Structure 1
Amino acid sequence: MPSPPGALPSLSPSAPSSSPSSPSSSSSSGGLWDSVDGLHAWLDAHGAVDGREALLLRILKLSEEVGEVAQAVIGATGQNPRKGGITHSWDDVGAELCDVALTALVALRSLTPDAGEVFTRHVAKVAARSLGGDAGAAGQERRAAPPSR
C-alpha cells in the first residue's frame, strides 16, 4: 500500500535486487567507474575553467546538489506552503541523493585518477571501524534480514 503524501519513507533496510557477487552487481561497479571516468573527461573537455579552479568548482558543486536534496525533502513533506503543499516525491529525494553521490565521485576522480581504489579502501576502513572485524558478514546479514516494522 502506498504511503500517504508527505509521509516519510520506511527507513528499514530492504533486500537488494541482486547479491553482491551476482554478475549484474559486479559489472555495475565497473560500469559506475567507467561512467565516472567518462563524466570527468567530458567535464574536462567542456569546462570553462581547468586545473585547480575546475577541481574547486567540482567540489563546491556538492553544496548545490545537497541543497537540491533539502529542497526535495521540504517538497516531499509539504513544508513550503508558498508552493502549495507537496511539490516533490520521495523518488525525487532519492534521485537528488544519487546526484550528490555521483557529483562526489566525479569530484574524487578529479582529485585522483585512482578514485575507485581510493573510494573502495575508504569504504573498507569505515566499515571495519563501524561494523567491527566481520564487517562483510554484518552487511550480508542486514541485507538478508526482512525489513522490520
Structure 2
Amino acid sequence: MDEVIWNAARAARAWLDDTNGTDQTELTCRILKLSEEVGEAAGAWIGVLGQNPRKGVTHSRAEVAAELADVVFTALVAIESLGLDARSVVTACAAKVESRITP
C-alpha cells in the first residue's frame, strides 16, 4: 500500500485521540464503527442489485467499492487505535493468506 494510506491512518487515529480521547469506550466505538461501514457497503450492494423494489437500482459498483474502501480504512484506524502498527498487522495477515493459497 502507498505510504499515504499508512500516514493517513495514523493521522486519523491522532485526530480522534485528540478530539475524543483514548478510553475503552472510545476504542469500542472505533471498532463498532466497522459495523456501520460494513452496513453501508451492504446497503450499496443491495442498491446495485435493485433488491429493494420500492427503490430499484440506486448504486453503482464504484460506489460499493468506495464503501468497501471506507471499511478498510476504518479497520486500519482501529488497528492503530489498539496501539499496533497497521502496516505490520496487515502485512502479517497477507502473508498468512498467501501461505494458504500458494502451493
| TM-score when normalising by structure 2 | 0.90
1:5-20 alignment to 2 at 5 Å?
Answer: none
Q: How many residues align?
A: 103
- Stretch deviating more after TM superposition (30-39 or 110-119): 110-119
1:10-49 alignment to 2 at 5 Å?
Answer: 29-47=2-20, 49=21
Gaps of 5+ in 1: 1-27, 133-149
Amino acid of the residue matched to residue 33 of structure 2?
K
2:50 — aligned with what? 78
RMSD after superposition: 1.4
Which whole-Å CA distance do the structure 2 matches of 1:98 and 1:30 have between them? 16
Which whole-Å CA distance do the structure 2 matches of 1:115 and 1:93 have between them? 23
- 1:81 counterpart SS class: coil
Which whole-Å CA distance do the structure 1 matches of 2:86 and 2:65 have between them? 23
| TM-score when normalising by structure 1 | 0.64
Q: Residue 103 in 1 paired to residue 92 in 2?
A: no
Q: Residue 89 in 1 paired to residue 42 in 2?
A: no
Amino acid of the residue matched to residue 38 of structure 2?
V
Gaps of 5+ in 2: none
Kindly name which structure, 1 or 2, has the bigger radius of gyration based on alpha carbons: 1
1:49-60 alignment to 2 at 5 Å?
Answer: 49-60=21-32
Which whole-Å CA distance do the structure 1 matches of 2:32 and 2:40 have between them? 13
Query: What is the deviation of 1:122?
Result: 2.1
Which whole-Å CA distance do the structure 2 matches of 1:92 and 1:105 have between them? 20
Query: What is the deviation of 1:109?
Result: 0.7
Which whole-Å CA distance do the structure 2 matches of 1:115 and 1:76 have between them? 31
Identity %: 50
